[in-house]
Chain A
Amino acid sequence: MLRARFLIPAVVFAALVALLAIGLTLDPREVPSPLINKPAPAFNLPQLDRPENTISQKDMLGKVWMLNVWASWCVSCREEHATVLALARTGVLPVIGLNYKDERADGLAWLARLGNPYQTSAFDHDGRVGIDYGVYGVPETYIIDKAGVIRYKRIGAVTPEVVRDKILPLVKELNGNA
């Protein structure tokens, strides 16, 4: 009886070690989005290439689509660009870009040089729309369903694995397994 009480510290410590071991596999700096399964925040921005036209999330209602947040100054965006281009070319879903805190000329030059996967890009010069979407580090990517609800957010570069394991199955499901 006496001995059992003295084992409490060891037991508590064991639980702590288990917690820390799990902690080693987590990323303390990743901030999950509270917008999952909530309606995509409204925006109405000029288009990057045709500033006299605007693009709004309402325009994409009825379709499953991808919103990809990018910028010409963002190094990781360059890394994921090939994957995004490949995905766009398959035509599985339309890809809309959100050009975040960029200069129009720089953004257009970047697309011209590296390829343009986007149906169009919304030009978010001051980053307001980014804040509404909870963007904190480009690149970030959202999958939005036909009703305009955000279903998935990818923080960081989109990799072929992410496309294969997360995005494509989700898009299939949202399209009604069509």
Chain B
Amino acid sequence: MAPELGNFALILALCIALVQSSLPLIGAARGDAAWIALARRAAQAEFLFIALAFGCLTYAFVTNDFSVKYVAEHSNTQLPLAYRVAAVWGGHEGSLLLWTLMLGLWMFAVTIFSRSLPRAMVARVLSVMGMIAVGFLLFMLLTSNPFDRLLPAAANGRDLNPLLQDPGMVFHPPMLYMGYVGFSVAFAFSMAALIDGRLDATWARWSRPWTTVAWSVLTLGIALGSGWSYYVLGWGGWWFWDPVENASFMPWLIGTALVHSLAVTEKRGAFRSWTVFLAILAFSLSLLGTFLVRSGVLTSVHAFATDPKRGIFILAFLTVVVGSSFTLFAWRTSKVGLGGRFALVSRESMLLTNNALLLVAAGAVLLGTLYPLALDALGLGKLSVGPPYFEAVFVPLMAPALFLMGVGPIARWKQASLPELTVRLRWALAASFAAAIIVPLAMGRWSAMIGFGIFLAIWIIAASLVSFRTQLAGAVTGRIGARLAQLPGSYYGMLLAHIGVAVFIVGVTLVKGYEAETDVRMDVGDTAHLHGYTFRFAGINHVDGPNYTADRGTIEVTRGTEPVVTLHPEKRLFTVQNMPMTEAAIDAGFTRHLYVALGDALSPTSWVVRIYHKPFVGWIWGGCLLMGIGGLVAAFDRRYRVRARSYSAQAAVAAGLSPSPAN
């Protein structure tokens, strides 16, 4: 019963989406208040039906309904409840439903948090989002229906891939998709502005918080994925430049450029066409990512099971959405004039350079990801492009942008003075050079690459402090508390996010430069030493989990005579799929991780044990967390929440109920 209900809910959602994507748009063009008002109600109804469908699928998983093919392929009666719920998005069809749910959620959020926006604009935004929903709902109903029946029903399911039976599976995909889909809001705002013909600073102010929240959530989603692979894959790696990882990184890079570009458009009215272009590009890359992961054109551990029919549909959808938006862009943008003027050395030009560098970086990642395909398509042979390429190309491209991160916040709008900047930043520069020399030596070994990484990180932090001090001094009156409160949330957000980047760089630089590893053969009672720590193999015993059996090692870690921690690495065998899995044990300290994984058993009491000491590796994800929080702090700046009452009333009258200017 529930699967039929879910299927029906999807069909209804599709019908509503069709209405939502057409009538309000026409209504906004004609000034029809009733059709404009339809947008909000339709979006809310659509969300409810998508949520209902999602609920039905979840119910099927929780109740072990193996008459649903998708449930039979991804679940099992022995699967713990939390993972049965996570299994809803464990395969292609269900993850599409999750994508659509996120779209519904964002649509719903737009209906709630857009009271101060002109109704016609909101109608257009929701229409565009409705069109995207139509695409995804059609895709599901025509080629990838999660509610397809399996008759006769299977006695038990094939179980969720053991690699996915982990808390990471509960959080990473939803966060990631929330971020991907969040860029559709910025995209919809851009499309609405292009359709309307009105592209001004106010538009930027409206779309900025949505974009920033989407960016923050995507940052956290990617960080979760990286952290998850770190502790589950058993060798301590956290980024592989895999095509699917790149598919999430490209929208993030362009999203970062977009967030910065919106700042300029909001404050100075400049870069308007560029911002619109970036918004279209960010979402296009999200959709491209969807294509790459599900079409089978690229090989990846993250790729879903593929079917050429699905690939064709997504490509067609991608072509329609992106093709029409770039065409609309070309058509309408030439009418948009230039915004405020600015000098060759100014905050605007620095942000523009930041954007240029991020764009090239994203381009490089795209090039590397698609190059094997391009070469094969041209019949020029097959090759692989992996981490050595991406690291060689990406780091030099990003380094100047990272340097600019220190200068930008200090540079004036419109016209900055290079001599003045040098004077203001001279101590920050000195501190960075000093740190670049001292820190690597203190860690045990100096190298140019490590020094460079530390230089950039300390530069960003020191320059941020200079900026903070300047802002604080420049705040109008009062004691420190009052002056702190006077600085806008967007400023704190920026500081936090920039410092997050610096923390991230410290983590990457130090762990790559100084991580140590030892692979030893341990009998019970043996000890191994690494970086001042002693690891004693206390024993191994057999444990039974809900759907696995495991060998569980006990490793006692001491430093000198001080006990540090007891770690329990496991080697699990998941019974349904007969798949072995290594569960590493990590002591996550602030300044280092101790990472222990079991290798192969050489005898019942003798095992190969891999021990790693990873300094500051936690700072990688700590930095990402700071970036994400910074973004959220910036998005919730008061100026986005306090609406100018006079403006909104005026706007409602002028734009909502009368025809928009013919433009």
Contact = CB atoms under 8 A, between A and B. Distances in A.
A9 interface: yes
Contacts of A112: none
A19 B299 contact: no
A19 B373 contact: yes
B45 interface: no
Highest count of chain B CB atoms <10 Å: which of A16, A29, A31: A16
Interface in B287-317: 291, 295-299, 308, 311-312, 315
B420 interface: no
B373 A17 contact: no
A56 B334 CA distance: 72
B381 A26 contact: no
Interface stretch (B22-30, B325-333, B462-470, B520-528): B325-333
B315 A20 contact: yes
Chain A interface size, as a band, is 20 to 34
Given A17-B318, A26-B377, A32-B381, A6 B297 contact: no
Contacts of B296: 24, 28
B323 A10 contact: yes
A26 B373 contact: yes
Contact of B281 (A9, A21, A32): A9
A32 B318 CA distance: 30
B412 interface: no
Contacts of A30: 382
B299 A20 contact: no
Nearest to B328: A10
A178 interface: no
A103 to B, nearest CB: 22
Interface string A26-57: 10111110000000000000000000000000
A53 B63 CA distance: 63
B11 interface: no
Contacts, number: 70
B652 interface: no
A59 B298 CA distance: 42
Contacts of B312: 24
Contact of A3 (B277, B318, B334, B373): B334
Contacts of A6: 273, 329-330, 333-334
A66 B54 CA distance: 55
Given A9-B329, A28-B296, A19 B374 contact: yes
Nearest to A9: B326
Nearest to B284: A13
A6 B370 CA distance: 24
B330 A28 contact: no
Given A9-B281, A19-B374, A24 B315 contact: yes
Nearest to A32: B382
A176 interface: no
Contact of B377 (A3, A17, A19, A32): A19
Contacts of A91: none
A22 B318 CA distance: 15
Contacts of A7: 330
A2 interface: yes
Contacts of B284: 13
A131 B370 CA distance: 28
B334 A24 contact: no
B295 A28 contact: no
A7 B382 CA distance: 32
B324 to A, nearest CB: 9
Contact of B297 (A9, A13, A20, A32): A20
A2 B338 CA distance: 12
B391 interface: no
B373 A28 contact: yes
A24 B308 contact: yes
A28 B376 contact: yes
A14 B323 contact: yes
Nearest to A3: B334
A22 B370 CA distance: 12
B322 interface: yes
Contacts of A24: 295-297, 308, 311-312, 315
A14 B295 CA distance: 18
Contacts of A20: 291, 295, 297, 315, 373
Contact of B327 (A2, A10, A22): A10
Interface in B341-383: 370, 372-374, 376-377, 381-382
B319 A17 contact: yes
A68 B593 CA distance: 51
Given A13-B284, A28-B372, A21 B326 contact: no
Nearest to B329: A6
Given A20-B297, A24-B308, A13 B326 contact: yes
Interface in A113-164: none
A22 B333 CA distance: 32
A119 B513 CA distance: 58
B465 to A, nearest CB: 39
B322 A21 contact: no
Contacts of B308: 24
A38 to B, nearest CB: 15
A132 to B, nearest CB: 20
Interface in B378-414: 381-382
Contact of B322 (A2, A13, A29): A13
B193 to A, nearest CB: 15
B330 A13 contact: no
A13 B327 CA distance: 10
Contacts of B376: 23, 26, 28
Nearest to B311: A24
A3 B333 CA distance: 8
A29 B297 CA distance: 9
B318 to A, nearest CB: 7
24 contacts: A3-B330, A6-B333, A9-B277, A17-B318, A17-B319, A17-B323, A19-B370, A19-B373, A19-B377, A20-B297, A20-B315, A20-B373, A22-B377, A23-B295, A24-B296, A24-B297, A24-B308, A24-B315, A26-B376, A28-B299, A28-B372, A28-B373, A29-B299, A30-B382
Closest 7 CB pairs of A and B: A23-B297, A10-B326, A6-B330, A22-B377, A7-B330, A2-B334, A3-B334
Given A20-B373, A23-B295, A32-B381, 14 more contacts: A2-B334, A3-B331, A6-B333, A9-B277, A16-B370, A17-B323, A20-B291, A23-B373, A26-B297, A26-B373, A28-B298, A28-B299, A28-B373, A29-B299
